[in-house]
Structure 1
Amino acid sequence: MSRKLRSLDWFGKDDKMGFVHRSWLRNQGYPDDYFRGRPVIGICNTWSELTPCNGHLRDFAEIVKRGVIEAGGFPLEFPVTSLGETIMKPTTMLFRNLASMDTEESIRANPLDGVVLLTGCDKTTPSTVMGACSVDLPTIVVPGGPMLNGRFKGECLGSGSFNWMVKEKKLNENYTAEDILEAETGTARSQGHCMSMGTASTMACMVEALGLTLPGAATIPAVDARKKVMAQLSGRRIVEMVKEDLKLSTILTRKAFENSIVINAAIGGSTNFLIHLQAIAGRIGVELKLEDFDHIGSKIPLLVNLKPSGEFLMEDFYYAGGLPVVINEMKEYLHNETITVNGKTIGENYSKTVCYNRNVIASVDHPLQHNAGIAVLKGNLCVDGAIIKPSAASRELIKHRGRAVVFESMEDYHARIDDPDLDIDENCVIVLKTVGPVGYPGMPEVGNVDLPEKILRKGIRDMIRISDGRMSGTAAGTVVLHVSPESAIGGTLAFVKDGDMIELDVEQRKLHLDVSDEELQKRKAAWIPPAPMAARGYVKIYIDHVQQAHLGADLDILKGGSGDTVTRDLH
């Protein structure tokens, strides 16, 4: 081994504390040789019955343990805060940083030499990777995998994507309560996370593109037996990584992050990718700016035809060849020499792939769209930036000038959006305030708010929507997100009024509020900041320390890491 095992500081000493550390664990029935130099592998489990997408990870932990033991390691499973996107209020994003702290301190405080992260639902992937980065041990990710395709009356439905169509289906397609119930019982019909190219699938592809999973791990459906094989092989591999001292900081180089940006564009990944990748980069010490996502990723061809930007779902993507095909297709855009968890380069891992369905995965020579990725907007309305996903936007709206219809909060939106007397038409721009990191708090996925009923009844399906919040990766539309600085701290968004004209020009990367600087200064002078949303506990810490969206919305006190050294030792 290239360095001494950390776990020997707990289990390798023949003194009082060595006795204590070993003797209490022996009540689980571990034999003596487990304490005598075997690499101790922590299995970080985000399983919870309150996180439906991760409900199968309890079983997967046992499969990983099997691989660890086969390779001569000592597996010890531990739980961390689990974040169920579909259940938690007000938003899981409020607790992403808390879960990362839980992961970081659990890893550092315990006798672990390497870590396996069991992930699935949206925030469980970035939060655990963030925490692990701040400790920087050998680490491998086992993505939980997507569900099987949803089914409804012979149609494939995407869990998540269908949610955003319920109002429209009722109004324009006469869906009955029985129809909605049947769809409800058929959209999420197996274990796993959302099977559209939402945030969960995007995060799985993100970690594979970064080099943190075994090749091909991201797209295998959760209930496919090959996912179990991947989990067992990951258990074997983490033991070898410890022996090689192959740490996260070796894998997560600037070039690896650039590769991930390219692949996210090629798959049509979620806008949430930006905010999570920046937070991960901040923990491992790689400089990554918001503008990098545009410079590196906005001119990349879109290859994957998946909802919400396309037609198919993750199960189809896997059968067509999965992420390996995309990575191989994109090799001319990638740093192929970057190292991955199996010790090989990304170029070596994906040099031999076969596409089985070009309707699902296009070739780089004949892409679905030539310039995909995520566009970073600038202007007086978003001094530090805002983002839009062009592949999910309406062509006729990516250059538009319209009258602002302003909602001061989500409560204001819900109270008035379907009022028949609301002065709004399809040419207007919906502006939603106080849904940013501080204002909500937590920056919820509400940016893609439903259109007014009277607009939907016209058959209109899209309008420009602008907010300082996020949107689900399962959603689509001409939606401007992550406006920074946010309205709750006095960003320009706070001063927008009904009737103001707003200009969006995606090609020119422009988002402009047509109000003079003098008028904005008057409005700012009269502005009263909203009262803080919490006065105690973690939420108070979050509000006081969260960074803005263009910096990744991590806590400023968590940037970087403390390494794997325990702060104090009883010896």
Structure 2
Amino acid sequence: MAFKPAEWPRRLRSQEWFEGTSKDAIYHRSWMRNQGFPADELDGRPIIGICNTWSETTPCNAHLRDLAEKVKFGIYEAGGFPVEFPVFSPSESTLRPTAMMFRNLAAMDVEEAIRGKCMDGVVLLAGCDKTTPALLMGAASVDLPAIVVSGGPMLNGYFRGERVGSGTHLWKFSEAVKAGEMTAEEFVEAESSMSRSAGSCNTMGTASTMASMAEALGMALSGNAAIPAVDSRRRVMAWLSGRRIVQMVKDDLKPSDIMTKDAFENAIRTNGAIGGSTNAVIHLLAIAGRVGIDLTLEDWDRCGRDVPTVVNLMPSGKYLMEEFFYAGGLPVVIKRLGEAGMLHKDAITVSGGGIWDEVKDAKNWNEDVILPVEKALAASGGVAVLRGNLAPDGAVLKPSAATPALLVHKGRAVVFENIDDYKARIEDEDLDIDETCVMVLKNCGPRGYPGMAEVGNMGLPPKVLRKGVTDMIRISDARMSGTAYGTVVLHTAPEAARGGPLAVVRNGDMIELDVPNRRLHLDISEEELAQRLADWTPQVEQPTGGYAQLYHERVMGPDTGADFDFLVGCRGNAVARESH
């Protein structure tokens, strides 16, 4: 028996397509029926879109077809009608020049697919780094009821008895090869242990960070972030989310109701507690822009500055996402924030209730994975926002992944004009560099690379590595993988390709880093800096044609989320009537 419109508190959006006996309604219904759908399924039930970023070229998301089926069961069970649709899926591991260049393209695809198709609510199936923010950005711009289901992290990897984190050990083993501590053959042998099951990175990289951000924002059911991809409980989570979205449609519970300023502050503090990726800064700024929330770098520093990093996961610690899940996962961390007075407890979630109600009974089953505050990896974790004449619009650093002794340092700049210059010179034994120097990489920001690739954690010179040195200060306008580590200053704004001060740093300049005082300073006079900037000419050519040109012309800086300027803001879910 079909559900009738009268059973719902308001007219459903999908009824614009399917209700009645008009030519338009019959047109829409008849074409859907060629898939074997009864007509009454489309006349009164809420239609729920399943926005799927499955792709065999996005390895982290290659299992999402299975999760989509479980979501469908939940939707059917709750009285809805599921319709699955694909969207562009930017993969961090297989897409060039960088997946970040295509996050905004994916967000545009998501927005227009939701806006233009016959749905009343949407389930967002995400996994790999950029798919989670892209789906949240697109859904926020349309503002239909939406819920996130993450694909989940892969299982732990092991190599010769050592726990191996995907990404993190890629950087570690690569440096070991350059230092002569590991053979190339051993590196290849370790390859299979880095990705041993379906799912995204098993470290607290960007994928797991953004799954955690979705949960902390209230856009996913409690416990969603950490369940391993191949664990049966991941499928249960998908099923329950399918059930829940139908009630969200009935309640008209939208992203704008959930993603408030309080919710973003909760997410920022959660990021500090988990030792989350610096990429979360850019993505949350972009998502907030789509909702219409005034979120700034200052909010990141204000909210995250005094949050202890208590999740002992790579790259900051020693465990992986599998242990984090077994220890109790993100609900334990959010509960810890609430107990410390660092949580807006009444911020509502997709559950319809306050976030505190979701986590207040969570238990920590392993205090070596989710540490007591007195044993925190970093007493003041979060993301440090740096400013100074080298970064007037800000730069970021992740203290929990840095070397404490380098957080206050002054050193001689060794400058690489772009990533090709770095690759050509870094292994040159005649390169004038030692461990006290500051490595500077230019022209790798949103316009410069283009797309702001994850090259900010530059590998150290082999002659320095052979001394046993594993970290140096590195500064760039690029990003860093969430799986990476080190004393790395990122997102320096304005970027070099826009003529920011980074563009005019020269070999031999002295640079001061003072993380406690949030200072990043190029040690030259104001007059000399002004003259260098006046003499600067662009080094990056503007692309002609296609998406690359659109990206170059309309992308904003990292300090505002690197979104397109014309996409900022919520444009609502108005339905255009069609005539056939």
Using the size of structure 2 for normalisation, the TM-score is 0.97
Is 1:302 the equivalent of 2:309?
yes
Alignment CA distance shift 1:416-1:172 (3 Å): closer
Matched position secondary structure for 1:494:
helix
Aligned residue in 1 for 2:567: 558
Q: Measure the CA separation in 2 of the matches of 1:384 and 1:566.
A: 39
Is 1:213 the equivalent of 2:220?
yes
Q: CA deviation at 1:567?
A: 4.5
Aligned residue in 2 for 1:72: 79
Is 1:16 the equivalent of 2:14?
no
Using the size of structure 1 for normalisation, the TM-score is 0.99
Name the aligned partner's letter for residue 12 of structure 1: E
Q: Measure the CA separation in 2 of the matches of 1:41 and 1:128.
A: 15
Q: Measure the CA separation in 2 of the matches of 1:372 and 1:531.
A: 35
Aligned residue in 1 for 2:171: 164
Q: Measure the CA separation in 2 of the matches of 1:556 and 1:412.
A: 31
Is 1:345 the equivalent of 2:362?
no
Q: Can you give the 5+ residue segments of structure 1 that lack an aligned partner in the other structure?
A: none
Name the aligned partner's letter for residue 417 of structure 1: I
Q: 2:161 aligns with which of 130, 154, 157?
A: 154
Q: Measure the CA separation in 2 of the matches of 1:423 and 1:175.
A: 25
Aligned residue in 1 for 2:392: 383
Aligned residue in 2 for 1:449: 458
Is 1:493 the equivalent of 2:502?
yes
% identical equivalent positions: 59
Q: Measure the CA separation in 2 of the matches of 1:125 and 1:112.
A: 20
Greater shift after overlay, 395-404 or 532-541? Answer: 532-541
Aligned residue in 1 for 2:265: 258
Q: CA deviation at 1:526?
A: 2.2
Q: Measure the CA separation in 2 of the matches of 1:3 and 1:553.
A: 37
Matched position secondary structure for 2:506:
coil
1:105-148: CA deviation from partner (whole Å, max 9, x where unpaired):
00000110000000000000000100000000110000000000
Is the 8 Å Cα contact of residues 97 and 555 (structure 1) preserved in structure 2? yes
Is 1:430 the equivalent of 2:442?
no
Is 1:121 the equivalent of 2:122?
no
Q: CA deviation at 1:366?
A: 4.6
Matched position secondary structure for 2:411:
strand
Aligned residue in 2 for 1:31: 38
Is 1:507 the equivalent of 2:507?
no
Q: Measure the CA separation in 1 of the matches of 2:25 and 2:292.
A: 35
1:396-455: CA deviation from partner (whole Å, max 9, x where unpaired):
110000000000000000000111111111000000000001111100100001000111
Q: 2:550 aligns with which of 541, 550, 566?
A: 541
Q: 1:58 aligns with which of 62, 65, 87?
A: 65
Is the 8 Å Cα contact of residues 116 and 140 (structure 1) preserved in structure 2? yes
Aligned residue in 2 for 1:333: 342
Name the aligned partner's letter for residue 500 of structure 1: D
Q: Measure the CA separation in 1 of the matches of 2:525 and 2:9.
A: 63
Q: CA deviation at 1:568?
A: 5.5
Q: Measure the CA separation in 2 of the matches of 1:534 and 1:165.
A: 35
Q: Measure the CA separation in 2 of the matches of 1:21 and 1:307.
A: 50
Name the aligned partner's letter for residue 233 of structure 1: L
Matched position secondary structure for 2:51:
strand
Aligned residue in 2 for 1:138: 145
Q: 2:295 aligns with which of 288, 295, 299?
A: 288
Q: CA deviation at 1:530?
A: 2.0
Q: CA deviation at 1:367?
A: 3.0
Q: Measure the CA separation in 1 of the matches of 2:577 and 2:405.
A: 61
Is the 8 Å Cα contact of residues 97 and 127 (structure 1) preserved in structure 2? yes
Greater shift after overlay, 530-539 or 468-477? Answer: 530-539
* 1:228-247 mapped onto 2 (5 Å cutoff): 228-247=235-254
Is the 8 Å Cα contact of residues 329 and 363 (structure 1) preserved in structure 2? no
Name the aligned partner's letter for residue 334 of structure 1: L
Q: CA deviation at 1:352?
A: 0.4
Q: CA deviation at 1:86?
A: 0.5
Is the 8 Å Cα contact of residues 174 and 187 (structure 2) preserved in structure 1? no
Matched position secondary structure for 2:34:
helix
* 1:466-477 mapped onto 2 (5 Å cutoff): 466-477=475-486
1:367-403: CA deviation from partner (whole Å, max 9, x where unpaired):
3332110110010000000011111111111000000
Name the aligned partner's letter for residue 211 of structure 1: G
Q: Measure the CA separation in 1 of the matches of 2:10 and 2:19.
A: 14
Is the 8 Å Cα contact of residues 179 and 462 (structure 2) preserved in structure 1? no
Q: Measure the CA separation in 2 of the matches of 1:546 and 1:229.
A: 39
Q: 1:527 aligns with which of 532, 536, 545?
A: 536
Name the aligned partner's letter for residue 125 of structure 2: L
Q: Measure the CA separation in 1 of the matches of 2:360 and 2:572.
A: 35
* 1:364-383 mapped onto 2 (5 Å cutoff): 364=373, 366-383=375-392
Q: Measure the CA separation in 1 of the matches of 2:257 and 2:443.
A: 39
Q: Measure the CA separation in 2 of the matches of 1:183 and 1:121.
A: 22
Name the aligned partner's letter for residue 104 of structure 1: E
RMSD over aligned Cα, in angstroms? 1.1
Q: Measure the CA separation in 2 of the matches of 1:135 and 1:258.
A: 23
1:468-488: CA deviation from partner (whole Å, max 9, x where unpaired):
010000000000000000000
Q: CA deviation at 1:504?
A: 0.3
Q: 1:354 aligns with which of 349, 356, 363?
A: 363
Matched position secondary structure for 1:250:
helix
Q: CA deviation at 1:176?
A: 2.4
Name the aligned partner's letter for residue 209 of structure 1: A
Q: CA deviation at 1:299?
A: 0.7
